[in-house]
Amino acid sequence: MKKTLRFPLLFFCFKLLISFDLSAQISSNEVDALVQDALVKFQVAGASVAIVKDGKVVHKKGYGVRSVETKQPVDDRTNFQIASNSKAFTTAALAILVDEGKISWKDKVKKHIPEFKMYNEYVTENFLVEDLLCHRSGLGLGAGDLMFFPDGTDFTIKDVLSSFQYFKPVSAFRTQFDYDNQLYFVAGEVIARVTGMSWEKFVHSRIIEPLGMDHTYTSVAEVTDKINLAMPHSTENSETNKIRKIDLFIEAISGAAGGILSNADDMSKWMITQLNKGKYGPNLEKQLFTEARQREMWTIHTVTGVNRDPRYNSHFAGYGLGWDLADIKGNLRASHTGGLPGMLSTVVLIPDQKLGIMILTNTEAGGAGLFSALSRTLVDSYLGIDKTDKVDWISRISKNLQAGRSYGDSVTTKVWQTVAAAKNTPVKANDYVGVYEDKWFGKVEVFLKGDQLWFKCYRSKRLNGPMHFYKANTFAIKWEYQDMDCDAFASFVLDENGKAQSIKMKGISPNIDFSFDFHDLDLQRVGK
């Protein structure tokens, strides 16, 4: 999601270019040592790792702590938010409905949701169910994510359905990959309209229960016993880089884009079912979805860039339906990553070799580095490449992560130094005070709190904070919400009398999560 190893709600596509060598397999003791080393180097509170091979679990274990405050250890049933790895559950749910003849991937979305409306008539009329799932809508990266990011907003699926008409496309329909969470909410609504059940109830009754994923949940609210629940952490916005516990992200619109909580034990069952082409049960006598549906989910619908590392001889890459896809020395790789504040995960499947790897972590931003480095190390071991061309992924990615973080810190530090130097600059505060509105995000207000200009969003209660003069007609906002590094610039356009008429915004840090799409806002004055 970043120029560095950080992750959005919801996704970042690491190219884990993998093959397999039956003569090479890393031992559980070696995995233990790698994870313990990575926890320290990436400053991660806890992690959970599962490896499956040939229909069996070969490694399943928790590491570190659920919370730095309680110090309770992570085990193989400790639940983490899996974030965008939930998207594969949404596509599996739709695949079940395709198998049952209740929908088709080629159904127009308007058939099931008549009020669905995109940015022009042609796209609206020709938008298919499969288009909801493969990030080729023409909308920009993370468009509309401010409707649920940070959590605590009051937006509903009705708001999501009416929002797309107000966005400006960045590419032609079905021509370019740009990751989109909002359309997965629409996919969840398709399930609700067709079945009469919420996404949560359908996924729980038709996927989670049949697979025996007894400790997996579709939302935080569904978790009745939170004793064995990992808490999110962050090392961001901390001068000492000390790990601190933050709040769990609470999904509001639905869980279809990233709401599931699971663990190593249950996710092993999910991976084995995927590797068995939808079959499950003691003798694989049951079928979650058919092999034909899996082929469709694991077929590239949107082409992405190929990682040209010569060690792996990869030729293509793209996104299917809920899965990132690539070839790895003649093998298919189906994978996905996920990210919420303080919760970062990856699932990597090599179906030709019946190999699956899952890593869950509970610390921003080091968790992304940990799961990338560890998964690369694991697949290099199974490939046997570490015997001829060994790479210390933990050290390499740790170094890259730190470099990216240092660069981001240097940028934001300069901004706040400029703010401090300009603190005595005269500002006609009343020229900026007023109510402004964006067509999809709603109203915000700039007002005086004592002598301090203040910014608040009406529908996203956690986005409020003081505005500090920066340069010209631009102010830097220090949000009260500091679980992630998302402080923002607000630049005003003034009329001939110096009165503010509109606001454009963008993130201050170059490492800001793409779900903070401030740049998509077009705030126009609507009142004093």
pLDDT digits (tens, 9 = 90+) for 123-151: 999 999 999 999 999 999 999 999 999 99
Per-residue pLDDT band at 391 (split at 50, 70, 90): confident
CATH class of domain segment(s) 429-527: mainly beta
pLDDT digits (tens, 9 = 90+) for 401-451: 999 999 999 999 999 999 999 999 999 999 999 999 999 999 999 999 999
DSSP H stretches of helix in 173-254: 182-195, 199-203
Using CA atoms, how far residue 407 sits from 3, 41, 414, 509, 525, in Å, is 10, 19, 11, 9, 35
**Average per-residue pLDDT for the chain:** 92
3-state secondary structure of 53: strand
In angstroms, the CA 232 to CA 218 distance is 17
pLDDT at res. 239: 60
In angstroms, the CA 386 to CA 259 distance is 36
Per-residue pLDDT band at 385 (split at 50, 70, 90): confident
| pLDDT above 70 for 525 | yes
| pLDDT above 50 for 276 | yes
In angstroms, the CA 150 to CA 234 distance is 15
Length of the chain: 528
Nearest to 179 by CA among 309, 338, 368: 338
pTM value is 0.93
Query: What is the fold, at CATH topology level, of the domain defined by 28-104+184-404?
Result: Beta-lactamase (3.40.710)
- Kindly give the pairing relationship between strand 286-287 and strand 302-303: unpaired
Average pLDDT of span 258-287: 97
Average pLDDT of span 511-515: 95
Average pLDDT of span 169-188: 97
pLDDT digits (tens, 9 = 90+) for 317-363: 999 999 999 998 788 999 999 999 999 999 999 999 899 999 999 99
DSSP H stretches of helix in 52-181: 87-99, 109-112, 121-126, 157-163
Average pLDDT of span 468-482: 96
| pLDDT above 80 for 23 | no
Q: Hey, where are the domains in the chain?
A: 28-104+184-404, 429-527
In angstroms, the CA 58 to CA 498 distance is 68
In a 10 Å sphere around its CB, with 0-12 CB exposed, 13-18 middle and 19+ buried, how is residue 196 labelled?
Answer: exposed
Say how many CA atoms lie within 13 Å of 102 toward its Cβ.
14
pLDDT at res. 418: 97
